[in-house]
Amino acid sequence: MFQNYISVALRNLIKHKLYSAINIVGLAVGLAACVLITLFVRDEMSFDTFWKDADKLYRMNTTFNVPGREPFVTVMAMGPAKGAIERYFAGEVEAVTRFNNEWPVIEYDNKVFSEEVYFTDPETVDMFSLDVVAGDIKQSLNDNSTLVVNESFAKKHFGDKDPIGEVMTLTYYATTRDYRIGAVYKDLPHNSVMDFRALIMIDEADFENFPWEYGHWFSVNNNIFFKLKDGVSIDALNARWKDFTDTMMDVRDQIEPGTNPSDFVTFSSQPLLDIQLYPAGDGEMKPTGDIKTVMIFSAIAGLILLIACINFMNLATAKSTQRAREVAIRKVMGARRGQLITQFLGESILLALIGLVLGIVLVEMALPVYSDFLGRELTFEYSDGTTLAILLGLIAFVGTLGGFYPAIALSGFQPSRVLKANKSAETSGSIMLRNALVVLQFTISIGLIVSTAVVYGQMVYGQNMDPGYQKDNMLVIRNVGRSGMLEQQEAFKQEVLRMQGVNNASLTSGRPADGNESNSSVEIPGNPEAGSILLGRQGVDHDFFETYQIPFVAGRAYDLSRGTDGTPSSEGAKEGEVLQGTVVVNERTIRRLGFGTPEEAIGKVVRMGVGDDVQADLSIIGVVPDINFQSLRQIIRPEMYVMSDSWKGNLTINFNGDAQALLSQVENVWKRMAPTVPFSYEYVDQALAEEFEAEQALATMLGGFSMLAIAVACLGLYGLASFTAERRTKEIGIRKVLGASVIDIVRLLIWQFSKPVLVANLIAWPLAVWGMMSWLETFPYRIDTWLLIPLCLFAGFIALMIAWGTVGGNAAKVARSNPIKALRYE
């Protein structure tokens, strides 16, 4: 019996080559897409699960509540928080550690270079189960002149030499010290949010004069992790953050009387295992993923699989007419319905199995490109029990889902009717179901096209958005604020200005799209009710507005010839003195301060602290438009462009001509002036475009999988069209005899398949618009919502064209055939 089933199944496969090929290829593509997405999703879910105490590790996140602005969230916290947690949560927390990255200048073997190094606390060893391959890591992190590095760091700098005991000289802030390599650990796997290649113990004494790193309560530079004691619930701890803030934050002298630290700062805990998928704010060691992305792609995987299953079902039911006779004869011979259902389900599962094998071949072929695109090494483990279970489950699921309806329908045929009438055994119900399924397939496809177009559109929009200043032909030289270059940065700027092709240059604290948060609070003299107002601040020089080509709405730029321009230095000032100066602000600042129109604001005064108990009254001399200097992904904040002698870390060059030639000139000067400082640069337009890299990746992936989905849906449509044409042979024959031309027939068949696509459009559009509008809401600056209408029309048009292309060829072939064959089949 079983052998009979197998041989019938195989013969059927071979006999209906087109049908089999469509089914198997469609299924293989669907399964391959599904497996690829699953690999990505499982990888995302696996982040940091390998740490021994992963479930007990939490990170402290900080939210600053700035009046008049969106709360600012960072995943970093303040240096003193470590000690505060240890004391306040002594009963709950076992250990606390900090991570703070620096780029010290390193000298080794007569070479000078810079590497990222994380300063951390000795507790790290007890909290994170690092895989040590050499040396004693515990001892090393308890010693302020020992360096712990990972294998690739060791390999890069020491080659095949034994790294333990090698000595490197590190310079950072005021410290220059010899560090001995004390331990080497295995590189962290890619599926970790932790990313450090070298560790040094924090010795706070080294930072005494640089208290913002570990001493200040209003300066956040550390990723702080803590480990719960056994049996402690995080909820109990979370409930006490507010009290922790008010009890432990020693900032009473920095905030206004009558307010509490918890009015400005909110702490929260985030499980280590959640960090990868639930991005909380700025300051991660490396870019994280997002649960939304994971869910979007899981959904797409499901949808593609659904499309493939629908093909399966549709083609099988369509084909069922041709097998009516076989069913009838089997029934006459005594087959029970259950046996027939088993037979057809078995065939369906066999087909699914073949599809899976081909699908795995496709996965193996696509994996290198896919891994490359995702930037991580993904492999498909066959021996893994879970994988096998998933695959077998998938086969059973697809085979059963695809085969169930046809099995029921086929086995339900009445033999007498089928054998006698020899007419279409198909019920109108199954035709309706099939149309509904085609509608569903195209709804999914059209929805995916619309989504891809919107994501792509938003990306292009973001990348081409006018930030309000010149972004092309702008080169930013970084690191000009590092010791070695800091002292001579003005001379460096002058050298650059002399180069050919350089129009202008400006020293600034930040650079476009660095997202850096720096704020100062100001008061309005004579208006005590206004209180203290926090304003964003960018440190600039007098060439800033000219270099970035920022126009003025009112007033003027800084002028060096007027000695009074800019924020005065507190040096030499007496305690309690109020100095005089000038400032340029953006339009939002004017609104925040209630200064009326930009013209009216000129000459108005804000008071800002410039040193210990020294203040400056700054009169507004210029108002510029709201420019996106901080980030294109954030709402523009009220911002002051402060010209003072404060620290500046970037030199922006406005140039024309050959960028490469200029760059090498600048680099030569840099190497001559500051050989110990790494030369680092970026172009403004690229930096702005990089802000939308995540969307670019999303658009590419969406586009790729949408195409797969559509391809699978089209395969199904093609198969269905051929079957329909077969079913309508007689009708087509009659129409031709009555004078219908080939065109008439093609039109007839194409219209039949246009209807479900048109209906699918009507369903897909509102769904896609709704989904995409909520996606777009995450961007403060986004494409016009009305643009969704042409995008929907475009997607519908594409889908219709694809459907026509798929059906048209077949229809033409059928329409050209001789009608007499169709009409004489009795």
Partner 1 sequence: MLKLHNLSKVYRTDEVETVALNSVNVEIASGEFVAIMGPSGCGKSTLLNIIGMLDSPSSGDYIFMEENVAGYNEAKLSNIRKQNIGFIFQSFNLIDELTVEENIELALLYHNIPASERRERVAHVMDKVGIAHRAKHMPSQLSGGQQQRVAVARAVVGDQAMILADEPTGNLDSAHGQEVMEMLQQLNEEGTTIVMVTHSPAHADYARRTINLFDGHVVTENLRAAE
Q: Which stretch binds partner 1 (CB under 8 A): 52-60, 208-216, 536-544, 730-738?
A: 730-738
- Cα 594 from chain centroid (whole Å): 38
Residue 731 engages partner 1 in binding (rule: CB under 8 A): yes
Applying CB under 8 A, which of residues 90, 388, 491, 820 lies at the interface with partner 1? 820
Q: Which C-beta is closer to partner 1: that of 434 or that of 782? A: 434
Shortest reach from residue 447's CB to partner 1, in Å: 31
**57: nearest Cα among 218, 192, 220, 190:** 192
Residue 730 engages partner 1 in binding (rule: CB under 8 A): yes
Shortest reach from residue 717's CB to partner 1, in Å: 21
Applying CB under 8 A, which of residues 734, 759, 763, 787 lies at the interface with partner 1? 734
Q: Which C-beta is closer to partner 1: that of 640 or that of 745? A: 745
Shortest reach from residue 721's CB to partner 1, in Å: 17
Q: Which stretch binds partner 1 (CB under 8 A): 206-214, 244-252, 574-582, 732-740?
A: 732-740
Q: Which C-beta is closer to partner 1: that of 335 or that of 823? A: 823
- Cα 347 from chain centroid (whole Å): 42
Tokens of 349: 């599962």
Runs of H (alpha helix) within 131-208: 137-140, 151-158
- Dihedral of alpha carbons 151, 157, 160, 161, sign: negative
Residue 726 engages partner 1 in binding (rule: CB under 8 A): no
Window 387 to 426, contacts with partner 1 (CB under 8 A): 424
Q: Which stretch binds partner 1 (CB under 8 A): 25-33, 89-97, 533-541, 728-736?
A: 728-736
Runs of H (alpha helix) within 96-240: 124-127, 137-140, 151-158, 234-238
Q: Which C-beta is closer to partner 1: that of 42 or that of 735? A: 735
User: Phi and psi for 780 in degrees, rounded to 5?
Assistant: -65, -35
Shortest reach from residue 412's CB to partner 1, in Å: 20
Applying CB under 8 A, which of residues 196, 736, 764, 800 lies at the interface with partner 1? 736
**Distances from the Cα of 553 to the Cαs of 160, 550, 561, 600, 619, in angstroms?**
62, 10, 22, 11, 16
**466: nearest Cα among 655, 627, 656, 623:** 627
Q: Which C-beta is closer to partner 1: that of 136 or that of 744? A: 744
Q: Which stretch binds partner 1 (CB under 8 A): 17-25, 442-450, 683-691, 813-821?
A: 813-821
Applying CB under 8 A, which of residues 571, 576, 739, 777 lies at the interface with partner 1? 739
Residue whose entry in the numeric block shows the structure tokens 């073997």: 109
Applying CB under 8 A, which of residues 21, 388, 661, 737 lies at the interface with partner 1? 737
Q: Which stretch binds partner 1 (CB under 8 A): 50-58, 284-292, 525-533, 737-745?
A: 737-745
Question: In whole angstroms, what is the distance from residue 149 CA to residue 4 CA?
Answer: 66
- Dihedral of alpha carbons 300, 305, 307, 310, sign: negative
Applying CB under 8 A, which of residues 182, 283, 403, 819 lies at the interface with partner 1? 819
Residue 818 engages partner 1 in binding (rule: CB under 8 A): yes
Q: Which C-beta is closer to partner 1: that of 354 or that of 734? A: 734
In 656-782, where do the E strands start and end? 681-683
Shortest reach from residue 737's CB to partner 1, in Å: 5
Tokens of 596: 């009326």
Q: Which C-beta is closer to partner 1: that of 255 or that of 734? A: 734
Q: Which C-beta is closer to partner 1: that of 274 or that of 744? A: 744
Per-residue binding letters, 673-712, with partner 1 (x by CB under 8 A): ----------------------------------------
Shortest reach from residue 751's CB to partner 1, in Å: 14
Per-residue binding letters, 195-234, with partner 1 (x by CB under 8 A): ----------------------------------------
Total residues interacting with partner 1, rule: CB under 8 A: 21
Q: Which stretch binds partner 1 (CB under 8 A): 172-180, 487-495, 568-576, 818-826?
A: 818-826
Give the SS3 label for residue 313.
helix
Residue whose entry in the numeric block shows the structure tokens 């093909």: 311
Question: In whole angstroms, what is the distance from residue 99 CA to residue 307 CA?
Answer: 48
User: Phi and psi for 328 in degrees, rounded to 5?
Assistant: -60, -45
Q: Which stretch binds partner 1 (CB under 8 A): 79-87, 329-337, 725-733, 768-776?
A: 725-733
Shortest reach from residue 741's CB to partner 1, in Å: 6
Q: Which stretch binds partner 1 (CB under 8 A): 138-146, 258-266, 502-510, 727-735?
A: 727-735
Tokens of 791: 């995008």
Question: In whole angstroms, what is the distance from residue 724 CA to residue 413 CA?
Answer: 20
**577: nearest Cα among 604, 605, 611, 620:** 611
- Dihedral of alpha carbons 39, 41, 47, 50, sign: negative
Shortest reach from residue 816's CB to partner 1, in Å: 8
Applying CB under 8 A, which of residues 498, 738, 774, 786 lies at the interface with partner 1? 738
Q: Which stretch binds partner 1 (CB under 8 A): 108-116, 147-155, 393-401, 726-734?
A: 726-734
Residue 107 engages partner 1 in binding (rule: CB under 8 A): no
Q: Which C-beta is closer to partner 1: that of 186 or that of 813? A: 813
Runs of H (alpha helix) within 239-290: 241-248
Question: In whole angstroms, what is the distance from residue 133 CA to residue 114 CA?
Answer: 24
Shortest reach from residue 696's CB to partner 1, in Å: 50
Applying CB under 8 A, which of residues 242, 542, 607, 735 lies at the interface with partner 1? 735
Burial class (CB in 10 A: 0-12, 13-18, 19+), 152: exposed
Q: Which stretch binds partner 1 (CB under 8 A): 376-384, 464-472, 601-609, 738-746?
A: 738-746
| Residue 45: Cβ within 10 Å count | 15
Question: In whole angstroms, what is the distance from residue 100 CA to residue 79 CA?
Answer: 9
Window 423 to 462, contacts with partner 1 (CB under 8 A): 424
User: What b/e sequence results for 361-397 when a residue is b if at least 16 CB atoms lie within 10 Å of its CB, and e otherwise?
Assistant: ebbeebbeebbeebeeebeeeeeeeebeebbeebbee
Q: Which stretch binds partner 1 (CB under 8 A): 540-548, 558-566, 682-690, 817-825?
A: 817-825
Q: Which C-beta is closer to partner 1: that of 209 or that of 818? A: 818
Question: In whole angstroms, what is the distance from residue 48 CA to residue 53 CA?
Answer: 10
Question: In whole angstroms, what is the distance from residue 153 CA to residue 134 CA?
Answer: 13
Q: Which stretch binds partner 1 (CB under 8 A): 335-343, 539-547, 619-627, 815-823?
A: 815-823
Tokens of 466: 């006018």
Question: In whole angstroms, what is the distance from residue 92 CA to residue 73 CA?
Answer: 25
Q: Which C-beta is closer to partner 1: that of 231 or that of 739? A: 739
CB-facing half-sphere around the CA of 394: CA atoms within 13 A: 28
Shortest reach from residue 739's CB to partner 1, in Å: 3
Question: In whole angstroms, what is the distance from residue 451 CA to residue 706 CA?
Answer: 9
Q: Which C-beta is closer to partner 1: that of 333 or that of 738? A: 738
Please report the DSSP string for 454-517 in residue order. Answer: HHHHHHHHHHH---SS--TTEEEE--TTSTTTGGGHHHHHHHHHHSTTEEEEEEESS-TT----
Shortest reach from residue 742's CB to partner 1, in Å: 8
Give the SS3 label for residue 288.
coil
**29: nearest Cα among 274, 224, 307, 290:** 307
Window 741 to 760, contacts with partner 1 (CB under 8 A): 741-742, 744
Residues near partner 1 (CB under 8 A) are 424, 730-731, 733-742, 744, 816, 818-820, 823-824, 826
